[in-house]
A and B are shown apart, each in its own frame.
Chain A
Amino acid sequence: MRNLLPVLTVVLAIVGLWYLAAVWMNATWVYDQAAREGREVFLVDLLGETMMQERPVLPAPHQVAKGLYDGLFGQAITSKRSLIYHGWVTLSATLLGFVIGSAAGILLAVGIVYNRAMDQSVMPWAIASQTIPILAIAPMIIVVLNSMGVTGIVPKAIISAYLSFFPVVVGMVKGLRSPDAMQLDLMRTYNASGGQSFAKLRLPSSMPYLFASLKVGVAASLVGTIVGELPTGAVAGLGSRLLSGSYYGQTVQIWAALFAAAALAAGLVALIGLAERVVLQRMGLVR
């Protein structure tokens, strides 16, 4: 509870600045409108009219809140206007992509740690893969997979996996290499097999690193999925809400979708944080 005051202060400050920015950015339209009608604009009119426009440059916080509320609770969840419907479309692809990406990341990391050739060859490619803008490669993945008959959430999940495997590789390589020479020597004195050293030493040592990179990975997964939804012609998903919003100048819709995506990401990261707490506690690594 002691944290509540500073957090609230920051939130209030942001909302205040947002309102100021909304007045400032939406004022042009109000002045244009007034000039056309030949009337004068007073400060009271300005404040009122900048906050209730249909298509504001920057919607005011209460407009976004209303858009978000309508999207979440104002529609049947099967409706194309429901943020829950679109959120689920995005979430399912994100989860699938996250699972694929994490699994690939862990496998690659094991390969890098145990195989000298992979150690020297895989990492440069993994780094190179992340320097290519995802926006450039996403449409190609979708087109190629479509021509192979793969449609639905799989192409989006692949793009999502493409972004999320990288932090997992980096974190897991570091984690699997974290046991020091003495701990590895100890395993040698027991004449432990490679599999035994992996299961009893390297894997448990890597857990804190794994969870840290999973948190980064799941957020990257969500970004990947949303990017993957853009070139699919705005059919469904939070990405398509963003895109159709920008087609029709529905700024409130864009911001509502953005906040929905942010809440989704926060929820996913929090879930991983919870899993981390439970696992590390059971391992005795949390004091």
Chain B
Amino acid sequence: MKENDSMSPVIDPVIEARGLDLVFQTADGPVQALKDVSLTIGKGEFVSFIGPSGCGKTTFLRCIAALEHPTGGSLTVNGMTPDEARRKRAYGYVFQAAGLYPWRSIAGNIKLPLEIMGFSRDEQEQRVRKVLQLVDLEGFGKKFPWQLSGGMQQRASIARALAFDADLLLMDEPFGALDEIVRDRLNEEVLKLWARTGKTIGFVTHSIPEAVYLSTKIVVMSPRPGRITDVIDSPLPRERPLEIRDSREFIEIAHRVREGLRAGHGDEI
């Protein structure tokens, strides 16, 4: 695979992982969650991590967020250790479930990180208005989470991650629990958001079309031990209408991803 990332130079790297290992000590003995993972993510890239359950894609994202701590290798975020980056609030994290606080309105939920980070009240109001517009939820600030559909809740949780000035957005299967139609719409919106904000995005997914449609770089991973089997730099243009999914290039990339996933499984299938 000549596109393999560790070979090609990346200008302005945001995330650099070299030979990353993570071993979990469990009751059934050690589990190798990540083995020798090397990857560089440049500024403004949209990187998807795809692979079956247990391949370490979420674990890798959590390592970047300093929610897990690697047991070997090196990992830097904005040139710092992940924990330093976390303390500097370098990233916004979107979980699989929206995880909005039921006792806070949508605006209140978006204010949560702003309150913690000590923004002034005026600034909070301003930012809430701005990000609600960004995720197309104007007028819903006063609603409570249970009054919104699942897709809208997830958009609110993205708004919450965008409210402060982190240049890095980490999304862990954000649309995994939503139906296909809602997911298509949200994918389009995420692309628009990415174009407008110029953020670097790390995106974990199960879905091949989602990964190919969104990413500038697709990282294919496989389980036992969790490792990278292929890194695909997408030749698709940044501007992507939904119809692009019927184009020849799209289908070719999807095919390569599928091959990578199959190869990673080896003789287990």
| Surface stretch bound by A, among B90-98, B178-186, B224-232, B247-255 | B90-98
Cross-chain contact B91 with A189 (CB below 8 angstroms): yes
Cross-chain contact A192 with B103 (CB below 8 angstroms): no
Number of contacting residues on A, CB 8 A?
Answer: 19
Cross-chain contact B113 with A183 (CB below 8 angstroms): no
A200 within 8 A of B: yes
A284 within 8 A of B: yes
A186 within 8 A of B: yes
- Which residue in B66, B86, B99 is a CB contact (below 8 Å) of A183? B99
- Which residue in B65, B66, B99, B102 is a CB contact (below 8 Å) of A285? B102
| Chain B, 58-117, CB within 8 A of any chain A CB | 65-67, 86-87, 89, 91-93, 95, 97, 99, 101-105, 112-113, 115-117
A85 CA / B243 CA spacing, docked (Å): 82
| Chain A, 253-285, CB within 8 A of any chain B CB | 283-285
A207 CA / B116 CA spacing, docked (Å): 21
Cross-chain contact B93 with A191 (CB below 8 angstroms): no
Q: How big is chain B's contact interface, by range?
A: 20 to 34
B24 within 8 A of A: no
A189 CA / B94 CA spacing, docked (Å): 10
- Which residue in A183, A189, A200, A201 is a CB contact (below 8 Å) of B65? A189
A182-B95 contact, Cβ under 8 Å, with A190-B116, A284-B102, A284-B103: yes
- Cβ of B146: which chain A residues have Cβ within 8 Å of it? 287
- Cβ of A182: which chain B residues have Cβ within 8 Å of it? 95, 97, 99
Cross-chain contact A190 with B113 (CB below 8 angstroms): yes
Which chain A residue has the least Cβ–Cβ distance from B146? A287
- Cβ of A188: which chain B residues have Cβ within 8 Å of it? 66-67, 86
- Cβ of A190: which chain B residues have Cβ within 8 Å of it? 89, 112-113, 116-117
Cross-chain contact A285 with B86 (CB below 8 angstroms): no
| Chain A, 181-205, CB within 8 A of any chain B CB | 182-183, 185-192, 196, 200-201, 204
B169 to chain A, nearest CB (A): 11
| Chain B, 117-137, CB within 8 A of any chain A CB | 117
Cross-chain contact B116 with A196 (CB below 8 angstroms): yes
B144 within 8 A of A: yes
A187 CA / B89 CA spacing, docked (Å): 11
Which chain A residue has the least Cβ–Cβ distance from B170? A189
- Cβ of A189: which chain B residues have Cβ within 8 Å of it? 65, 67, 86, 91-93
A190 CA / B67 CA spacing, docked (Å): 11
Which chain B residue has the least Cβ–Cβ distance from A283? B103
Which chain A residue has the least Cβ–Cβ distance from B67? A185
A191 CA / B90 CA spacing, docked (Å): 10
A201 CA / B91 CA spacing, docked (Å): 20
- Cβ of A201: which chain B residues have Cβ within 8 Å of it? 101
- Cβ of A191: which chain B residues have Cβ within 8 Å of it? 86-87, 89, 116
- Cβ of A183: which chain B residues have Cβ within 8 Å of it? 99, 101
A284 CA / B95 CA spacing, docked (Å): 23
- Cβ of A283: which chain B residues have Cβ within 8 Å of it? 103
Which chain A residue has the least Cβ–Cβ distance from B62? A185
A201 CA / B101 CA spacing, docked (Å): 8
User: Interface code A196-229, partner B: CB below 8 Å = 1, 0 otherwise?
Assistant: 1000110010010000000000000000000000
- Cβ of B113: which chain A residues have Cβ within 8 Å of it? 190
- Cβ of B116: which chain A residues have Cβ within 8 Å of it? 187, 190-192, 196, 200
A285 CA / B145 CA spacing, docked (Å): 10
A211 to chain B, nearest CB (A): 13
A188 CA / B89 CA spacing, docked (Å): 10
- Cβ of B93: which chain A residues have Cβ within 8 Å of it? 185-186, 189
Which chain A residue has the least Cβ–Cβ distance from B91? A189
A185-B87 contact, Cβ under 8 Å, with A190-B116, A284-B102, A284-B144: no
Cross-chain contact A204 with B112 (CB below 8 angstroms): no
Which chain A residue has the least Cβ–Cβ distance from B143? A284
A183 CA / B113 CA spacing, docked (Å): 12
A200-B115 contact, Cβ under 8 Å, with A182-B97, A185-B95: yes
A sample of 29 inter-chain contacts (CB < 8 A) reads: A182-B95, A182-B97, A183-B99, A183-B101, A185-B67, A185-B93, A185-B95, A186-B99, A188-B67, A188-B86, A189-B65, A189-B67, A189-B86, A189-B91, A189-B93, A190-B89, A190-B113, A191-B86, A191-B87, A191-B89, A196-B116, A200-B115, A200-B116, A201-B101, A204-B101, A204-B103, A283-B103, A284-B102, A284-B104
Please provide the 9 A-B residue pairs with the shortest distance between their CB atoms, ordered closest to farther: A283-B103, A284-B144, A189-B93, A190-B113, A192-B116, A190-B116, A204-B103, A191-B87, A182-B95
